Structure 1
């Protein structure tokens, strides 16, 4: 994790370390963050997917999917994301990489 002023940058590999998730957001008192993210191929450093997620947290879900936690009360949904219908927590969004 790298911090600069109020900006935070996190880098996290998926389980088999073939992809790297890089997230950037402003750290403030608001729990709802606008998270800029990029998923890179570990070897070539080619950007496989990038975008903006608005919520509380973004992390790896599977080898090829990200899991985003929406802020409670938020009504927006990411256009390239699918809501989990059978999940216990309805405030989770899955983003496919491929």
Structure 2
């Protein structure tokens, strides 16, 4: 059984969720070429390793959220609510000037 760590509800069965897809930046509609729209709509990287994705908790809190998931092992590294910044990974150095007092 695959457990997805919902930021609101905690770990839940994957059957409660909808995988929305890889997180990609949407091109500007006013200036995007047809090739850019095709790439945005249909082309995905499909890496073997860590990737950033969007998920929807359809049978729970109905929240959209981002997640980092390993595509080979289905391990989730972290999740965050849509529109929020993901928290730094444990052991990741914090950048100076991001509101953290370094003294």
| TM-score (normalizing by structure 2) | 0.27
Instruction: Say which structure, 1 or 2, has more relative contact order (CA 8 Å, 6+ apart).
Output: 2
Q: Please tell me whether Structure 1 or Structure 2 has the larger radius of gyration of its CA atoms.
A: 2
The structure with the largest helix share of the pair is 2
TM-score, normalised by the number of residues in structure 1 = 0.28
